[in-house]
Structure 1
Amino acid sequence: MAITLLQYEIFRAVVDSGSFTKAGDKLGLSQSAVSHAIKGLEAELNLTLLHRGRSGISLTSEGEVMIDYARQILNLAEEMKQEAGRLNGLEVGTLRIGTFPSVSAYLLPSVLEKFHAAYPGIHVEFHEGGYMELKQMVSSNIIDIGFLTSDDAGNLDFIPLFEDYLQVILPGNHPLRTKKQISVRDIASYPFIMPKGGCDDLIKQLFARHHLKPKVYCEIADNQAIIAMVQKNLGISIIPELVAHGHHDGLSRARLKEECFRTVGLALPAHKQVSPAVSAFITLTKSVVGDHKSRWS
């Protein structure tokens, strides 16, 4: 019996979800159909691919090797489908993208709106995570392309989009509110709300370079929660320009005197030939960034 693409797809879904049931729900199959497909794949390869236990599903050492091949096969099949659609004058297929929270909230909606309008036949799946998680997902071909920073892209191919400068946010009645630029030395004198995840490494390095220690009131991961805490006069904070842009009642903004920024861009598996869907997404994202950048400052 020959191995089918569906078996590879089921294998990938089981690995990614960690469950036969969840994989079946995603693919519209029963749990028994999923189990039968995996057993058939293992029989055809003469390998045990998955450990099945009370704690869940995990890959065997042989499965770790085979899942990489399965992903490559499915990616090539998807690229072939997209290329055939392009040759027929149709844009079809699936695009899997990864994003971190600030891009999800402030950039991605505009990108997806225009992308769906231009390419209604392409289904978009997106995964949100931290920098390291996204890097791993791109490297493992779990996603086709991901938003990342240049510092975190490592050996992936990286397409820079914009420099996202850090800005100071403070209550509207704060003594420093009239300053157009605020230094980290000024900030160190007041209660500070430290972002948790994302830009926290940049901020901590900034204070360390100037031999300063902020008076951390609390650490918060959610950007909107940070803004709300500042609005309630519980401290000041430093967040990316992408997050800080727009009008927030009871909030003042200022440039950080010691300029500091992250370079946000798109990361792809190293030296990978991109599919038509990925190529279209890159082009459209660059266009949206160009349209929006002037509004963020």
Structure 2
Amino acid sequence: MRTGNLDGIKLSQLRALVAVAEVSNFSEAALRLEVSQSAISHAIAALEESLGVVLFSRGRHGARLTPIGERVKDHAEDMLKLLDVIGKEVNLTKGLKGGQVRVGVFRSVATRLLPEVIVRLKHYFPDITTTPIEYRDDDRVEQALREGRVDVGFTCMPITDGFEGWELMRDEYVVLLPPKLQRPETPLTWEELATYPMIMTSGQSKLDYCSVLTRQHFAELGQPINIAYDIQEDSTSVGMVERGLGVTVLPRLATEPLPPEIQVCSLPVPLYRHIQVVMLADALHSPAVYAFLDTLKELYPPELQATPISSERRQKVSRAIA
């Protein structure tokens, strides 16, 4: 491989480098960048040729960065972030005519809240594009914000250092019961709930934050959980409840759309998850991002500006999912 020639390096090659490094796979990187796999392969090969070094080792386990590849990737990320800053500076001087807002979301926000915001924003500013990017893990939303891959994020975790935002809403956890279950028309009690087989996600990782919060709530109140089915997806638990296999506890927003026959009850002692909108503190945001935030506030007026969950609650959750 010949000595490096930096003049031929293209931004598309740097984006390909970062994408492959993140997923360790050329095909997945191509999907992420919405290009063909051959385009990714060509971009990496051309970049390696220009630099005169091997950036990836290829094998059965995918594409892994070489030591020099790691260092080049870090510099490439810095260059792409600077390019993003340049774009934001230019947009600020031009005023708000268009732009893009990248939003990191989890499923229930993506399906139940975000579409209404996008429709309203599109009505006000037809040339602004909103791009939802879905994550299952709140930590990944924070990471995406730190790395500049999203502009705004939604999370259920407390607002941490380096971020600012506000509480969008409190989402109540509810108990879903089978359609044909015969029970008294009275509020659900802990004693009654303990008699039903429980369907619940495992709670073994940060992906199961809702399950962790539920288990913690039961434990703090000294209430047992009769877990009959340990599953992975909320939608699975709803389907199993519909077929009469047990009951489940989920945030109300995560249950929608809910089969009409399923019975819904509040917990004997209420539990809520706090859905918050966050962004990097002291960051330079484009007019399009501020337009998105203003539209969000119009639809969901913030009552508790930048209000984190208590540090005690945060520490308990962190220990539970460690």
- Cα distance change, pair 66–271 in 1 and its aligned pair in 2 (3 A): farther
- Is the counterpart of residue 11 in structure 1 residue 21 in structure 2? no
Counterpart of 1:138 in structure 2 is: 145
Counterpart of 2:173 in structure 1 is: 166
**Count of residue pairs brought into register by the alignment:** 286
Counterpart of 2:318 in structure 1 is: none
Structural mapping, 1:252-267, within 5 Å: 252-267=263-278
Structural mapping, 1:73-88, within 5 Å: 73-88=79-94
Deviates more, 1:61-70 or 1:107-116: 61-70
TM-score under structure 2 length normalisation: 0.74
Structural mapping, 1:217-228, within 5 Å: 217-228=228-239
Counterpart of 1:295 in structure 2 is: none
Counterpart of 1:188 in structure 2 is: 194
Structural mapping, 1:1-297, within 5 Å: 1-2=6-7, 3-20=9-26, 22-23=28-29, 26-27=34-35, 30-40=39-49, 42-43=51-52, 49-89=55-95, 91-117=97-123, 118-122=125-129, 124-151=131-158, 154-159=160-165, 160-176=167-183, 178-179=185-186, 181-196=187-202, 197-244=208-255, 248-269=259-280, 271-290=282-301
User: Hey, what's the Cα distance between the residues in 1 that align with 2:46 and 2:19?
Assistant: 12
- Specify every segment of 5 or more residues in structure 1 that has no aligned partner in the other structure, as ranges: 292-297
- Cα distance change, pair 284–58 in 1 and its aligned pair in 2 (3 A): farther
Report the RMSD for the aligned CA atoms in angstroms: 3.2
User: Hey, what's the Cα distance between the residues in 2 that align with 1:95 and 1:63?
Assistant: 30
> 1:158–1:265: 8 Å Cα contact kept in structure 2?
no
User: Hey, what's the Cα distance between the residues in 2 that align with 1:177 and 1:59?
Assistant: 62
User: Hey, what's the Cα distance between the residues in 1 that align with 2:120 and 2:273?
Assistant: 25
User: Hey, what's the Cα distance between the residues in 2 that align with 1:57 and 1:205?
Assistant: 40
Map Cα deviations across residues 44-73 of structure 1 (whole Å, 9 max, x no partner). xxx754333342212344544543443343
Amino acid across the alignment from 2:270? E
SS of the equivalent of 1:150 reads coil
Map Cα deviations across residues 249-295 of structure 1 (whole Å, 9 max, x no partner). 2122222231211111123345433333333333333333359xxxx
User: Hey, what's the Cα distance between the residues in 2 that align with 1:102 and 1:174?
Assistant: 27
Identity of aligned residues (%): 25
> 1:184–1:207: 8 Å Cα contact kept in structure 2?
no
User: Hey, what's the Cα distance between the residues in 1 that align with 2:136 and 2:50?
Assistant: 31
> 1:24–1:34: 8 Å Cα contact kept in structure 2?
no
Amino acid across the alignment from 2:161? N
Map Cα deviations across residues 95-144 of structure 1 (whole Å, 9 max, x no partner). 33322222222223323333444343436251332233333333333333
Deviates more, 1:206-215 or 1:27-36: 27-36
